[in-house]
């Protein structure tokens, strides 16, 4: 061993790289007649807007040119959608890149990062890469009637200190699917000191449709230390093109610009994302279909006795009771060319995260699940 890890910067020495779950390409190549059913990545079962595809195609005859480093047209479209000027916007090669850079810029050895247990896996990675301590607030208990394993906002507020560089939370949250009302986000912002930046990751924000809930974008003008992220990977069905957006105070955005790579966002993504924002019919269609399909799938899973976390996203976190049951179901589904997301890395080995598919995809999943459960005698409550 050459010991190169020893030569890495302190935060990188002990860092484990992002775990992407199953090797999807290998599984695709192996899959039989029906093909691989991919329900592990929270991608859109309804795909991108036809308008996005048309915009992308028209970019194909100038691939030799660098993309617009300012992302001018996409920022213009986002400005219109959010009612904010372009200085409030930073584009990233997916939100993942922006989250890593947020920690690089605003966290460090003296500036710890505050998160909740069961937070998105990229936050701990970002904190550690920046050599910042990660402080994890205990989540609500699994028995909580409304938000099982959801973020405990009062506990997060109690844990806040002025030296925290960043607070990171997703609303709704991945992997739990749980959500917070806007008033809870606002209480957190009121409690945070002026030097603590609060990042509200709204990767699934568009799916959130509950009374008292809404985008934290509406709080930006009141709280200069608020930053909101959005992505084109989920609702808009453009995960392959890697477009994330950071929205915040122009001064915070200007500081973040210092570490942005010159051409971090590609021209196909820029064009497709701008067009996707304008396709309100496609957006409404995907939102409607996702919610209907999610509730139908949740009902089916609950009818089989499994514990399904309430969700305002395009996925369901399902608790199969024991790590052994979850692992057996994961294996059995894989054998039937169906991919879901194991949750060991999130400290939830008894759970699997299942992306909501179209109704016929859900039906295939449920048929396979019933077969696996029957074969291995894993019925809910069996042996518990
Ligand atoms: C999927 C997801 C993102 C989006 O990641 P991209 O890098 O934009 O594809 C961000 N945050 C959360 C919580 C997610 O689940």
User: Do residues 200 and 169 lie in contact, with contact meaning Cβ atoms separated by under 8 Å?
Assistant: yes
Same domain, 250 and 347: no
| 97 CA: nearest ligand 1 atom | 7
200, containing H or E segment: strand 197-201
Give the Å distances, CA to CA, from 248 to 55, 97, 155, 292, 345: 28, 16, 25, 33, 30
Residue nearest to atom 12 of ligand 1 (CA): 203
- 63 with 36, same domain? no
d(C-alpha 273, C-alpha 277), whole Å? 6
**How would residue 382 be classed by pLDDT, with cut points 50, 70 and 90?**
low
Q: Is 170 in the pocket of ligand 1 (CB under 6 A)?
A: yes
Residue 229 in any domain: the answer is yes
In a domain, 129, yes or no: yes
8 falls within a domain: no
Question: What percentage of the chain has pLDDT greater than the value 90?
Answer: 92
CB of 326 closer than 6 angstroms to any ligand 1 atom: no
Mean pLDDT of the chain: 96
Q: Is the CB of 203 under 6 A from ligand 1?
A: yes
Q: Is the pLDDT of residue 148 over 90?
A: yes
> Do 185 and 80 share a structural domain?
yes
Of 255, 278, 301, at which residue does a domain stop?
278
Q: How far is the CA of 111 from the centre of ligand 1 (A)?
A: 24
Locate the ligand 1 atom nearest the alpha carbon of residue 41 and give its number.
Answer: 1
Position 384 scores a pLDDT of: 43
pLDDT per residue over 163-209, tens digit each? 999 999 999 999 999 999 999 999 999 999 999 999 999 999 999 99
- The answer to the question of residue 10 being in a domain is no
pLDDT over 70 (residue 340): yes
239 CB under 6 A from ligand 1? yes
pLDDT at res. 211:
95
Whether 121 and 269 share a structural domain = yes
Could you tell me if 230 and 245 lie in one domain? yes
Domain of 336, CATH number, reads 3.90.1150.10
One domain for residues 286 and 223: no
Number of domains in the chain: 2
Asked whether residue 108 is domain-assigned, the answer is yes
286 and 226 housed in the same domain = no
Domain boundary among 278, 301, 320: 278
- Whether 370 is covered by a domain: the verdict is yes
Please say which residue of 278, 302, 318 terminates a domain: 278
Atom 4 in ligand 1: residue holding the nearest Cα? 95
Protein residue with its CA nearest to atom 5 in ligand 1 = 95
Query: What is the C-alpha separation between 113 and 128, in angstroms, rounded?
Result: 9
- Are 90 and 235 part of one and the same domain? yes
Cβ of 120 below 6 Å from ligand 1? yes
Same domain, 179 and 144: yes
For 77, other C-beta atoms within 10 Å of its C-beta total 18
Ligand 1 pocket residue status of 95, Cβ below 6 Å: yes
Please give the share of the chain, as a percent, with pLDDT higher than 70: 99
**Are residue 25 and residue 135 in the same domain, yes or no?**
no
**190 lies in a domain?**
yes
Q: For the domain that residue 231 is a member of, what is the CATH number? A: 3.40.640.10
Q: Determine the average pLDDT of the residues in 242-254.
A: 98
Burial label, 151 (beta-carbon count in 10 A; 0-12, 13-18, 19+) = buried
pLDDT for 350 beyond 80: yes
C-alpha radius of gyration, the chain, whole number: 21
Domain housing 39: 21-46+281-376
CA atoms of 362 and 324, how far apart (whole Å):
23
pLDDT band at 134 (very low <50, low <70, confident <90, very high): very high
27, 151: one domain: no
Global pTM reads 0.97
Per residue in 308-339, is it b (16+ CB within 10 Å) or e — as a string? Answer: bbbbbbbbbbbbbbeeebbbbbbebbbebbbb
Q: What is the mean pLDDT of residues 9-38?
A: 90
38 within ligand 1 shell (Cβ under 6 A)? no
345 within some domain: yes
- Are 234 and 322 found together in one domain? no
Q: Which pLDDT does position 1 carry in this prediction?
A: 67
Structure tokens at 42: 């929270």
pLDDT band of 3, cuts 50, 70, 90: confident
């Amino acid at each position: 061993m050459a010991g190169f890890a020893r030569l890495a910067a302190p935060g990188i020495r002990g860092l484990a790289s992002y775990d992407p779950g199953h090797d999807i390409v290998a599984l695709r190549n192996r899959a039989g007649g029906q093909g691989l059913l991919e329900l592990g990545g929270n991608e859109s079962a309804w795909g991108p807007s036809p308008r996005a595809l048309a915009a992308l195609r028209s970019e194909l005859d100038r691939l030799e040119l660098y993309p617009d480093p300012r992302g001018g047209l996409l920022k213009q479209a986002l400005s219109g959608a959010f009612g904010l000027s372009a200085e409030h916007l930073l584009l990233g090669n997916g939100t993942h890149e922006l989250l890593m850079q947020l920690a690089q810029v605003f966290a460090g050895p003296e500036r710890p990062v505050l998160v909740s247990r069961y937070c998105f896996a990229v936050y701990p990675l970002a904190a550690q890469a920046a050599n910042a301590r990660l402080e994890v607030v205990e989540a609500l208990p699994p028995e909580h009637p409304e938000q099982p394993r959801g973020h405990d906002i009062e506990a997060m507020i109690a844990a806040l200190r002025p030296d925290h560089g960043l607070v990171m939370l997703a609303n709704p949250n991945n992997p739990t699917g749980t959500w917070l009302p806007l008033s809870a986000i606002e209480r957190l912002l009121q409690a945070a000191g002026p030097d603590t930046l609060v990042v509200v990751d709204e990767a699934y924000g568009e799916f959130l449709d509950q009374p008292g809930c809404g985008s934290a974008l509406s709080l930006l003008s009141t709280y200069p230390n608020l930053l909101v992220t959005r992505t084109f990977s989920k609702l808009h069905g453009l995960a392959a093109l890697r477009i994330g957006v950071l929205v915040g105070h122009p001064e915070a955005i200007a500081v973040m610009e210092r570490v942005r790579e010159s051409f971090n966002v590609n021209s196909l993504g820029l064009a497709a994302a701008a067009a996707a924002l304008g396709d309100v019919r496609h957006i409404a269609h995907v939102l409607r279909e996702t919610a209907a399909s999610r509730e139908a799938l949740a009902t089916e899973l609950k009818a089989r006795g499994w514990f399904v976390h309430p969700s305002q996203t395009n996925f369901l976190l399902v608790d199969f009771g024991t790590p052994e049951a979850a692992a057996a179901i994961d294996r059995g589904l894989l054998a039937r060319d169906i991919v879901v997301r194991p949750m060991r890395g999130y400290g939830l080995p008894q759970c699997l995260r299942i992306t909501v598919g179209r109704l016929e995809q859900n039906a295939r999943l449920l048929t396979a699940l019933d077969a696996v459960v029957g074969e291995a005698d894993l019925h809910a409550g069996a042996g518990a």
